[in-house]
Amino acid sequence: MTPILDQFIRSGTPFRPKTMADLFALRLAHKLNDAEAVRHYAQLATQYSEGELLAAFRRAVNSGISADLGRRFHVELRHSGGNGPNFRTSHTAAIRVERRAVAVAIFSGDQLSYTQVRQLSSNRSKALNSSVGFVSWVADQFHPDSAVLESIPAGDEIQRQALNQAVIEVLRAGILPIWEVSKQELFREYGQPALRSRKELRQIVTEIWPVLAGSNGHSFIQDAAALGLHVQVERCFLN
């Protein structure tokens, strides 16, 4: 096969997604072990529907040929029989727990439908009660079918650990599947090469949703939105 991707493989500038299509393309490139050619996949995302790209991806993965998934994907894409299914239809509550705040971003498919941040008391008991009450209200109001939180390393920030565990118990009581995603995983999946800071991650989120720019708790909402979009895109590749 002609090395059609050679012109895209070496690039001296980092790739930072500016749209949801860019993020999808980046994750597709990662899944195909072809991350250095991410700009090519971003170009494909402007030429093909997400469903077509997903259908070609699944055929490549299921072909049993694992040596060069990127090239196999392109073979399958050329033989695309039409639009494949788009599975990004789930309702997810993305929750960012901090020592003095809990932020929530609600996703319906890839649409960000609601955001809110609850400031917490410095008193541990009051903070726990406020966190539990807020997350319970969110679950009752929006009826998500899953939730995602940022995982907290063991032994890191005792107050935040306690709040996070209280939120998890509320979600489990509602029999909700829970995803936990590390900060490092978010950094890897939102850039090529990987991001180095939350500042970079928040810049990407506000590029996608300019309405989330600002201060006064917006940074925690940006973090929650990054968590939610990460899971919604990941779901595409799991079906």
Residue 55 to residue 170: CA distance in whole angstroms:
37
Smallest Cα–Cα separation from 102: which of 77, 69, 83, 126? Answer: 126
For position 63, what pLDDT does the model report? 85
Residue 201 to residue 213: CA distance in whole angstroms:
12
Residue 211 to residue 218: CA distance in whole angstroms:
10
Question: Angle 203-98-130 (CA atoms, 0-180°, nearest 5)?
Answer: 130
Summarised one tens digit per residue, pLDDT across range 183-201 is 999 999 999 999 999 999 9
Residue 232 to residue 226: CA distance in whole angstroms:
10
Residue 77 to residue 37: CA distance in whole angstroms:
16
For position 67, what pLDDT does the model report? 75
pLDDT at 5 over 60: no
Model confidence band, residue 8 (pLDDT cutoffs 50, 70, 90): very low
Residue 191 to residue 66: CA distance in whole angstroms:
24
For position 4, what pLDDT does the model report? 45
**pTM of the complete model:** 0.89
Radius of gyration for the chain, computed over Cα atoms and rounded to the nearest angstrom: 19
For position 232, what pLDDT does the model report? 94
Which amino acid is present at 100? R
Summarised one tens digit per residue, pLDDT across range 120-136 is 999 999 999 999 999 99
Q: Residue 230 has which token pair?
A: 């990460």
Contact of 102 with 117, CB cutoff 8 Å: yes
For position 53, what pLDDT does the model report? 95
Half-sphere exposure in the Cβ direction for 224 (13 Å, CA): 28
For position 12, what pLDDT does the model report? 64
Whole-number average pLDDT of the chain: 89
Summarised one tens digit per residue, pLDDT across range 140-198 is 999 999 999 999 887 767 889 999 999 999 999 998 999 999 999 999 999 999 999 99
pLDDT at 81 over 70: no
Alpha helices in the chain (DSSP H): 6-9, 20-31, 38-47, 50-62, 69-78, 124-142, 158-173, 183-189, 198-208, 218-238
